[in-house]
Amino acid sequence: MIKEVYHVAITRFSIRMHSNEGFRGRSKEWLFNEVRLSQKLVLFEHVAFSSIAKGSKQPDLFLVLIDKELPETIRQQLENIIEPYHWAQTFEVEPGALANMRDIGSLLGGFAIDSKYILTTNLDDDDAIGTHYIQNLKSLVKQHRNENPNQPFHWFGSIDMQEWDILPSKEAALGFLKPYSGGVLFSLSTGFSVLSKNHPRGPNVFTLSHSRCLDFLTLNHRRTNYDRQGRFKFRVRLALNALKMGRWETVFRILRSYDFATRLDDGRTGQFQGLISNHGDNLQQGRIKSGISTRQPVRNETLQSIFNVHAQKVIDNF
C-alpha cells in the first residue's frame, strides 16, 4: 500500500559543504580527523539516532549523508550503528554537492518514492528530538493537508529547544541543561521540516535556511523589517517553482503573502521539543557561555524520558 505522505529524516555526518574545505573554513584534515569523528559517533549513536530509533514513531527513511572520503573505519562503525534498522541507511554525496540538492528531484530522485507527498526533516548529527516529535509532526501534517488540500508545499519549524552543555564537573557530573539561549526567535534546525508534493521541483529542508523560514514564509512570526529584500526574492523564486509544478493558484497565494510555514510549538508547548548539544566542537563556544544563569545540572532520567538520550553513556564514551 502506497503511503499518502512518505517521511524522510536527514542527518549530515561530516560532509564537505564546499569541494576543497571542511566546515566554515576549517580544513579537510580537521573534518576527517578520526579522533574528532569518534566523538561525533558517540553523539550520533546516543543522542541523534537514539532519539529517532526509540521514539514513538520512526520515519519511513532515515538518511545519513556521508562524504565519499569519510575514513573507512568511521564509516563502518556508523553503518554498524544503523544496520539493525531497515529504515536507516547511509547516502554518499560528492564534495559540495549538497548546495545543488535543494529540491526533491536532486536529493531524492533516485529513491523512486511513489507517495503523493514527501516530508523531509532535518536533524543534526549531535542533536535530538522529543520522544513524540515525529508522531506529533505526522498528525499535524495530516491536519494541514486536510485543511489545505491544494497547497503543494509547506514548512514547519520549532523554537521549543533545550541546550545540553556537555561540561562534566563535580557539581554536575552529566553537564548542564538550559532553555535555548540564542535569544532570537527563529525556527531552529532541529526537527526543521518541509512537506512537498512529490515533484522534482518541490522543496526540501535544504531549499531555505531554517533561520529564515518564519521570516520569509509567515506574517505573525516574522521579525520586523528582517531581510525584506531576501524575503521578496525567495518568494519570487518559490512562485516560479510553483509555476513549474503547474500550481497557478499557489503562485497567486505566494504573491499575496499567504503563510507557507507553521511554527510548530506555537500553542503546543512540549509537543515539539528538541535538544541541542553543546560540546565545544563545531564553533560552539558562544553557545556554551550563554544562558549560564538559567542552567541546571542534568539528570539522566530527564533526558531519557523526554528525548531518549542516555546522558551517562555519552559522558562515559565521549
Identity at 37, one-letter amino acid code: L
Cα-to-chain-centroid distance, residue 273: 12
Check residue 22 and give its pLDDT.
Answer: 60
CA 26 from chain center: how many Å?
22
Residues 82-95: tens digit of each pLDDT: 999 999 999 999 99
Cβ atoms < 10 Å from Cβ of 20: 9
What pLDDT does 285 receive? 62
User: H or E segment at 158?
Assistant: none
- DSSP assignment of 108-120 equals HGGG---SSEEEE
pLDDT > 80? residue 281 = no
Q: List the alpha helices (DSSP H) in 8-121.
A: 28-31, 34-43, 49-53, 72-82, 104-108
What percentage of the chain exceeds 70 in pLDDT? 96
Is it the case that residue 179 has pLDDT exceeding 60? Answer: yes
Burial, 243: exposed, middle or buried (Cβ in 10 Å; 0-12, 13-18, 19+)? middle
- For the chain, state the CA radius of gyration: 19
Scored b (16 or more CB within 10 A) or e, 98-127 reads beebebbebbbeeeebeeebbbbbbbbbbb
Asked if residue 18 has pLDDT above 90, the reply is no
Q: Which of 171, 235, 191 is nearest to 55 (CA)?
A: 191
Q: Taking Cα atoms as reference points, which of 69, 136, 75 lies closest to residue 96?
A: 69
Can you name the residues that pair with 6 across neighbouring β-strands?
A: 118
In this model, does residue 27 exceed pLDDT 90?
no
pLDDT at 2 over 80: yes
Q: Place 29 in a pLDDT band, splitting at 50, 70 and 90.
A: confident
- Predicted local distance difference test score (pLDDT) of residue 199: 97
Mean of all residue pLDDT scores within the chain: 93
